[in-house]
Amino acid sequence: MSLLLVIILGLCATGIVLAIVLEQERIPAALGWLGAIASIVLLWFSGASLFGGAVFRATLWTIPSLATLTLSLDRLSALFLFVTGLVLLPGSIFASGNLSQYLGKYSLRSFSVWYFALFATLVLIPLSADAVSLLMLWELMSILIYLLVNFEHEDREHTRSGYLMLAIGEAGTLLIALALIILAGNGSLEFASMKAAGDALGEQARWAVFLLAFFGFGVKAGLIPVNFWLPQAYTSAPWPFVPVLAGATLNLGLYGIVRVNGDLLPVAIAGPGLVALTIGSVTALLGILYATTQSDLKTLLAHSSIENAGIITAALGAGFIFIASNHPAIAAIAFAAAFYHMLNHSIYKALLFVATGAVDSNAGTRNIDRLGGLIKVMPVTGAFFLVGALSIAALPPFNGFVSEWLTLQAMLQSAELASTGIKIVFAICGAILALTAGLAVTCFVKAFAMSFLGMARYESAAKASRARASSTAPMGFLAVLCVFLGVAPTYVIPLLDGAVAPIAHQARAADALVPPFFSGSIHHGELPSAFVADFHKLGAQVGQSVMPGRGLVVLHRGAAANPVVFAMSTSYMAVVLLLMLLGAYVVFRLIVARDRGVERRTVWDGGIRRLLPEMTYTGTGFSNPVRVIFEAIFQPTTVEDTRETVGKHFRAAIRRTRGENHVLDRLVLDPISDAALWMANGFARMHHGFLNAYVFYGLGALLAALLVARFT
């Protein structure tokens, strides 16, 4: 195992060296090859642990009176590494294809160096097993991300976004550091000893650790109120880097939250879970609201990432609450949902970003109001974007559906809890998540339909060229994964089990979700026969002769006190769907269309001479109802309306502009910055230049110090 790790890091180092040595034209290819190979080795490395149970542990060197730098791979880390590998593989290929556009403008060398350095960091962070290495690597990652986001540094906007990200990232790192220090207490800073010391912490310290770690890691994860950097940073990041940014780095924030609260300091009371649940739900809602009303595809996807991070966090929060309430079986479901959603989000978000990158490169714009009709000129990209959109909108039989369904089912299991207050919170948050899911469908219908369907709104959209292979191949890979993860959840959930079990303190958590209906599978005999008979009547054993594994139905049976069953099978759904589509096609082709040809005519437009693109709905128009309904959140700040007339009644032009700022800016940032400025002004008033006053200040400080010393 250590060999594999060495190979990965070695490939990264080779990448850095080659980036410095090679001439600029050859760097993209090198990046692509090395990145892909390193990703494959990473997948092998993490897969060995996730599927095979291999363990890995290495101590590096000891820093006296601080900690011994340790690397350790357990199944939780393996899961995150696996996801990272799944994203970095297509991401590297896409990056290599997309990078050459910067030749001559920016330094490809720098990009490549930072890219491989970040690769190494992304690999090492989940492996680090002590606070010092974690913090050092975290800092390194923050800086590298900043450098990569600010790659197109000539644009002031990008520098501003990058700087904002860096600043808030630093604040986050500070919070994480504080959390880990409090957690360590008097002991050493290795995770192993932190785990042991955790029991001794008092309630206040536990809350402090939770909140600090939650919001500290939440910066990277994209949770409110510290996620205001995310949309701008994602929009400013260069295309080669964006899939990695969205698919890999966001997960690290979630990794931190799970590591601290699930592993190092397991939650004992419901409070932290409630905080996570609420913040997650509200994050999701705000994320999707702003996504729906965006007309820039990149920013739309960024807000959508916020939404997904919120859903994952909400599921994690639900899991924490269930653990604290002594329902480990349901907690396992919640964690399985969270991890499944994290996996799904990385895949389909990377897919969508790659597709959008192809659109931006070829159609020249990523503004939805300037696109349209792309499916005619970029059919492959359109098809893959559609798969991504269907997945993220949580439509069966794609992967987003499985994880959203699991999340909502986990929410519903709150009926088993005792406390009414907690149940009410669950109900409200469940409703918010359901609303989010609905808005997500709206958002991605808009994103897909307005960009790919209909008429091209500008020349550049009508004449877009097809995407390169270096974009199509990664899209294809990710799309296949989306389909697989959607159609075969019964194979994925047992794989996640390894990561879920230790956190939920529930062994064989997958059994709770994937009962062994197939008569050939190992634990088939443990199921009650009446239960098996009932479900065999519904066809739960269909496919047992051809498919390996336990079964194709995801099903959970409540405890004896509350024997509610929830079940779903996207596998069967996919088969039935395919058969129906095939059947409809066959019937149409062979029977209906046999004597009749199919004629194509122009669209019915009411009888006008020609339908112009300016007469078709824009993305802004499509999402306007959402903006109007949630006016209280959006609160447009300025609506300028100038009407030019000739004479009193002949109108020449009506010009309107709308200015909006984010609700977080209004509610969080502006008050904080106002307060800070107020304090600063106050202090500024004290600096008036009179020497006498400064002497007086010194005297006052001395007196205060004496008084403090006297009374303590």
Partner 1 sequence: MAPELLQVLEDAKTRWTGKVKPGVDGGGAAAFHLECEAPELPDVCNWLFAERGFSFGGLIIEQRTRWELRYVFYGPDSGWAHVVTFLPATEGRVPSVSRLIHAADWHEREAEDLFGLVFEGHPRLGDFVLHNDVWQEGIEPMRKSFDGSRAVASREPDLTWKPRRIVEEAGAFAMPVGPVYSAATAPVHFQLETVGEDVIRAQPRLFWAYRGLEKIAEGRKADDVLLIAERISGTSAFAHSLALCQAVESLCQIEVPRRASWLRMFLAELERLRHHVAAIAGICESTALSVAAAQAAILEEELLRISGALTGHRYLFGMNVFGGLAADLEDNACRHAAAQVAQVSGRLATLQAMLSTSSSFLDRLENVGNVSASNARDFGLVGPIARASGVSRDLRRAQPYCGYERVEFQVPSESEGDGYARLRVFFQEAAQSARIIVEAAERIPAGRVRTPEAVLRPGAALGWVEAPGGAALHWIRLGDGGVVERYRIVTPSFANWHGFRLAAEDFAFQDFPIILATFALSVHENDR
Partner 2 sequence: MSQWVIKGLRSGIKSTRYPRTSETAPGISPGLPVATPMSAELAQAMAARCPTAALEPARTGIDVNLRRCVHCFRCARGGDGAIGWERERDFECAGVTSHGDNFGRVFTRSIHILVVDTGDCGACLNEVKQLNNPYYNMHRLGFFFTPTPRHADVLLVVGALTEHMRLPLRKAYDAMPTPKRVVAVGACALSGGIFGPSFMCAGGVGDFLAVDVEVPGNPPAPLAILHGLLVVAGRKPPAPLYRRIEEVDGQG
* Residues near partner 1, by CB under 8 A: 295, 369, 605-609, 611-612, 614-625, 627-628, 646-658
Residue 436: its H or E element? helix 420-452
Within residues 599-638, the interface with partner 2 by CB under 8 A covers: 601-602, 604-609
Which partner, partner 1, partner 2, none, binds residue 600 by CB below 5 to 8 Å per kind?
Answer: none
Minimum CB separation from partner 1 for residue 622, in Å?
7
3-state per-residue secondary structure call for 361-376: HHHCCCEHHHCCCHHH
Cβ(294)–Cβ(283) under 8 Å? no
Q: Which does 418 bind (CB under 5 to 8 A by kind): partner 1, partner 2, none?
A: none
Q: Which of 225, 217, 222, 168 lies closest to 668, judged by CA?
A: 225
Q: What are phi and psi of 645, to 5 degrees?
A: -130, 155
- Number of Cβ within 10 Å of residue 657's Cβ equals 10
Give Rg (Cα) of the chain: 28
Tokens in use for 573?
Answer: 């759904």
Smallest Cα–Cα separation from 616: which of 377, 471, 453?
A: 453
Site size for partner 2 (CB under 8 A): 8
- Do residues 372 and 461 touch, judged by C-beta distance below 8 A? yes
Q: Could you tell me the smallest distance in angstroms from the CB atom of residue 295 to partner 1?
A: 6
Closer to partner 1 by Cβ: residue 591 or 628: 628
The minimum distance between CB 627 and partner 1, in angstroms, equals 8
Nearer Cβ to partner 1 (171/611): 611
> Buried b vs exposed e over 507-542: b needs ≥16 C-beta within 10 Å?
eebbbbbbbbbbeebeebeebeeebbeebeeeebbb
CB of 572 to partner 1, least distance (A): 40
Strand 67-73 to 565-568 pairing = unpaired
| One-character DSSP codes across 94-122 | HHHHHHGGGTTTS-HHHHHHHHHHHHHHH
Nearer to partner 1, 648 or 687 (CB): 648
Q: Which is nearer to partner 1, 546 or 652 (CB)?
A: 652
Least distance CB 456 / partner 2 (angstroms): 22
Nearest to 309 by CA among 273, 239, 243, 255: 255
Strands 565-568 and 650-659: unpaired
Residue 596 or residue 655: which is nearer to partner 2 going by CB?
A: 596
Whether the Cβ atoms of residue 321 and residue 422 lie closer than 8 Å to each other: yes
Q: Cα–Cα distances in Å, from 395 out to 362, 388, 441, 703? A: 28, 10, 8, 69
CB of 594 to partner 2, least distance (A): 15
Query: Among partner 2, partner 1, none, what binds residue 659 when CB lies within 5 to 8 Å by partner kind?
Result: none
**Nearest C-alpha neighbor of 311 from the set 295, 329, 287, 347:** 287
Q: Identify which of residues 563 and 647 has a Cβ nearer to partner 1 in the complex.
A: 647
Please give the distance of CA 594 from its chain centroid, rounded to a whole number.
49
Q: How far is the CB of 608 from partner 2 (least distance, A)?
A: 8
Q: Give whichever of 381 and 616 is closer to partner 1, judged by the CB atom.
A: 616
With CB under 5 to 8 Å by kind, the binding choice for 601 among partner 2, partner 1, none is partner 2
Shortest distance, CB of residue 657 to partner 1, whole angstroms? Answer: 7
Question: x-or-dash pattern for partner 2, window 547-586, by CB under 8 A?
Answer: ----------------------------------------
CB atoms within 10 A of CB 237: 27
Q: 466, 409, 408, 469: which is closest to 433 by C-alpha?
A: 408
Residues in the chain: 712
| 560 versus 646: smaller Cβ distance to partner 1 | 646
Contact code string over 290-319 relative to partner 2, x by CB under 8 A: ------------------------------
Contacting range for partner 2; rule: CB under 8 A; set: 424-432, 433-441, 548-556, 597-605: 597-605
Cβ-based nearer residue to partner 1, 357 or 454:
454
In the bound state with partner 2, the residue whose beta carbon lies nearer, of 604 and 683, is: 604
Which residue, 453 or 527, has its beta carbon nearer to partner 2?
453
Instruction: Spell out, one character per residue from 442 to 471, where the chain touches partner 2: x when CB under 8 A holds, - when not.
Output: ------------------------------
Q: How far is the CB of 347 from partner 1 (least distance, A)?
A: 31
Q: How far is the CB of 633 from partner 2 (least distance, A)?
A: 34
Packing angle, helices 2-21 and 108-127, rounded to 10 = 160
Q: Between 598 and 653, name the residue whose CB sits nearer to partner 1.
A: 653
By the 10 Å C-beta count (0-12 exposed, 13-18 middle, 19+ buried), 104 is classed as: exposed
| Cα 126 from Cα 74, distance rounded (Å) | 9
Looking at beta carbons only, is 586 or 615 nearer to partner 1?
615
**Which of 605, 604, 527, 535 lies closest to 572 in space, CA to CA?**
535
Give the binding range for partner 2 (CB under 8 A) out of 363-371, 535-543, 568-576, 596-604.
Answer: 596-604
Least CB distance to partner 2 at residue 143 (A): 59
CB of 650 to partner 1, least distance (A): 5
DSSP assigned state of 296: B
Query: Least distance (Å) from partner 2 to the CB of residue 612?
Result: 15
Name the residue with tokens 């800086």: 143
Considering CB distances under 5 to 8 angstroms, the limit depending on partner class, which of partner 2, partner 1, none binds residue 173? Answer: none
**The entry of partner 1, partner 2, none that residue 507 binds, CB within 5 to 8 Å by partner kind:** none
Residue numbers of the site for partner 2 (CB under 8 A)? 601-602, 604-609
